[in-house]
Amino acid sequence: MGASFESEKTCNYFLDPQGFEELILALRGHGYVVYGPVVRDGAIVYDEVESASQLPVGMRDRQGPGYYRLEERGDRAFFGFVVGPHSWKKFLYPPRVKLLTVSKKGEVTLNNGEERKMAFIGVRGCELAAIDVLDRVLLKGPYIDPIYAARKKSLFVVAVNCTEPGENCFCASMGTGPEAKTGYDISLTEVVGDGVHYFVARAGSDEGLSLLKRIGAREATREEVSRAEEKMEESQKSFRKKLNVNGLKELLYRNIESPVYAEVAERCLACTNCTMVCPTCFCTTVEEVTSLNGDVAERWRRWDSCFNLDFSYIHGGSIRSSRLSRYRQWLTHKLATWVDQFGVMGCVGCGRCITWCPVGIDITEEAEKIRRAEVEVAAK
């Protein structure tokens, strides 16, 4: 039976828009809180959804360095966009969370995490890779984060393959997309146009396969699968942005005093946008809050950024007092020291840091400038 079950997971299944709606309803019926993309305040963000009609149907996001706009596509695509300012990290590793409460009597209540049945709809390949990075940091290291572990435990993931990469996407360079590889329960490839609209679905887990069968998904025909494969082949060829990762870690280590850092520091505002939208940044700080009557004290954890002056503060002052040092810390950590710490780069190629930088600083361009600068120095 096991071998038969494994072979069924490699099958491709067909879902029309109604079938996709039934998938969401089935997840909700089994107690999952379903989160997916929605339009709010001129951007596509992630929030709770009850039906497919709440998704950004027929919407496209136009992105560039420091630029983001939504526009109509002229079709009924459910996932005709890439990524916005939110990442799925916000649900697994909340921006602000209570760690413990201490009463005046000395009673301590720890927040060891609460298991939640969450389902994510529309997770891209780069975002799956980002969750894997967070797993390495928060679950597979010497210190396990109980809050993250509890939220991750019952997670159900519906991934969506990117058929139209955005202007700032470079996941192909990082090996994280445009196709979802692992870490999902169900993956979907949307085919829309020429009078058709459907999804080719694939199960990535027993739970995913069981759900597809439960909603009556049939096996996709060869023609339906071929059209989906053609979409992905076109996607692979349409990336506009690239990052040369060959020897990148060593390059950055050799050029820690590169003049490029001084140039970018003149533009960088140290606003922390890049770290706040990044799906893998995990830095936090801790705050103590006491009630007005002094009966209760609480310890809260919130996201922090290496671009903040006080982030590296120790007795005597901040270790990284200049914008140059803080930008260099961020870039080299993402593309070099992260590899030494966790065995993988901290960048997944989603392009969010490029889009949401107010001055349009592009991590791919800055890395390439450092490479070119080294070559120019060697040629002298």
pLDDT at 9: 62
| Mean predicted lDDT score pLDDT of the chain | 94
4 pLDDT above the threshold of 50:
no
pLDDT digits (tens, 9 = 90+) for 49-59: 999 999 999 99
72 pLDDT above the threshold of 60:
yes
pLDDT digits (tens, 9 = 90+) for 89-102: 999 999 999 999 99
pLDDT at 342: 92
Task: State the average pLDDT over residues 39-62.
Answer: 96
Percent of the chain whose pLDDT exceeds 70: 98
Sheet holding 218-219, edge to edge: 43-48, 33-40, 118-123, 156-160, 186-193, 196-203, 12-15, 218-219
pLDDT digits (tens, 9 = 90+) for 263-306: 999 999 999 999 999 999 999 999 999 999 989 999 999 999 99
Q: What are φ and ψ of residue 72, in 5° steps? A: -75, 140
Structural domain boundaries in the chain: 2-237, 248-379
Q: Do the Cβ atoms of 301 and 285 come closer than 8 Å?
A: yes
Beta bridge mates, 59: 72
Task: State the average pLDDT over residues 365-372.
Answer: 96
Quickly state the pLDDT bin for 6 (edges 50, 70, 90).
low
pLDDT at 7: 54
Q: Do the Cβ atoms of 19 and 217 come closer than 8 Å?
A: yes
Rounded-to-integer distance, Cα 103 and Cα 112, Å:
17
Q: How many CB atoms lie within 10 A of CB 209?
A: 22
Q: First-to-last CA distance in the chain?
A: 67
